[in-house]
Amino acid sequence: MLSRVADSLYWMSRYLERAEHATRLLDVNLNLMLDESPTSSDHRWLRMLNALGNPKRLKWNGNPYELARNLTFDTSNKSSVVSCIIAARENARQVREQISTEQWQKLNSLYIEVTRPEVKRAMQIEANAESGEGPTAFLQEMMEAVHQFQGVTDSTMSHGEGWQFIQVGRYLERASCMRLLLEAYHEDVWADPDRVPEGNEYLDWMGLLRSATAFEAYCKVYTADLTPERILEFLLLDAEFPHSLRFSIDSLQCALKAIQEKSGKTRAEELHRIAGRLSASLGFASVDEILLGDLVAYLHGIQRQCQAIHQTIYHLYVDYPIQAALAG
């Protein structure tokens, strides 16, 4: 596969996963406004910005609808939802011959929808600000469109090397997003294990699970008994939940192995060593041991390894010198 094709498929997938994650966090926090007090509002929205990596040019000014509008529509912000969808569509356009017609139609339709005149969308959000129907309905539509694209991708595209690069992008981005989400909640949920929880903390715990689409899946495993230790164990170490860090890294490792087999790369040992070590560290970890140590440092270590995987992927499959390519 050409390096530019691998690069475009990889980033198309990462941008869509990033857009879906940001949309979900916005939707959850807008819905939580119905149950929060004015004093907790500022803290909750600042925490959401931390979970999104503190996007540049965005500051919390006390207006959640203005923040939601900027995080969604502001194309001068490269991490806004619309910016991510535009970037994903551009990457797909560059490799139009590599993806199915159904994929292109679904992504192009989403692009057309979100790039309609921004003022019209902004006015719609303002007009329904009191009920919350405007923003949440639109955010739900966007999430559903991304989910549909992922389903169309899996059902209409050959599961060859290109499809595997899409999986690599999806799960590497998902792991990075989950790491940021857990770190953003650390101070409120896990920093003081001896603290007696207040009534509103259960709402935060539920918000964290819903931010990872995990509330119902968590309840099926642990019932509705919410505890910080079990929430961390589920979101970090569960082997079967698609948004857990462990599941994402295991899926990433499987995709990388498939790419090596299909591409015949003989120099991928370093990449598989990094991914395998990270997968094993999550597979054999204990939530009690993690909480006894420094959770934030542990999460930073995961992010460093994810960054090393990204850099090694680029070195092997995208930015490699011609001499290395000839050598296999």
Residue 323 has pLDDT above 60, yes or no: no
Compute the average pLDDT of residues 149-178. 97
pLDDT band at 266 (very low <50, low <70, confident <90, very high): low
pTM surpassing 0.85?
yes
pLDDT band at 285 (very low <50, low <70, confident <90, very high): very high
pLDDT band at 89 (very low <50, low <70, confident <90, very high): very high
SS3 119: helix
Same domain, 184 and 301: yes
Average pLDDT, the chain: 88
Tell which of 103, 122, 157 closes a domain: 157
pLDDT band at 324 (very low <50, low <70, confident <90, very high): very low
Same domain, 153 and 248: no
Compute the average pLDDT of residues 3-24. 96
Per-position b or e across 65-87, b if 16+ CB within 10 A of its CB: bebbbbbbbbeebebbbbbbbbb
Same domain, 213 and 295: yes
Same domain, 208 and 170: yes
- Which has the minimum average pLDDT: 113-117, 226-230, 306-310, 324-328? 324-328
- The pLDDT value recorded for residue 166 is 97
Residue 134 has pLDDT above 70, yes or no: no
Please spell the DSSP secondary structure of 182-207, one letter per residue.
HHHHHHHHTS-TTSPPPHHHHHHHHH
Compute the average pLDDT of residues 261-274. 81
**Residue 239: how many CB atoms within 10 A of its CB?**
10
Domain count, the chain: 2
pLDDT band at 325 (very low <50, low <70, confident <90, very high): very low
Tell which of 138, 157, 176 closes a domain: 157
- The pLDDT value recorded for residue 55 is 85
Q: Alpha carbon of 223 to those of 28, 79, 212, 227, 293: distances in Å?
A: 21, 36, 17, 11, 27
Segments forming the whole domain that contains residue 272:
161-328
Alpha carbon distance 258, 256 (integer Å): 5
Same domain, 95 and 137: yes
Tell which of 157, 191, 225 closes a domain: 157
- The pLDDT value recorded for residue 132 is 46
Same domain, 124 and 170: no
Residue 320 has pLDDT above 70, yes or no: no
Same domain, 265 and 196: yes
CA angle 286, 252, 235 (to 5 degrees): 35
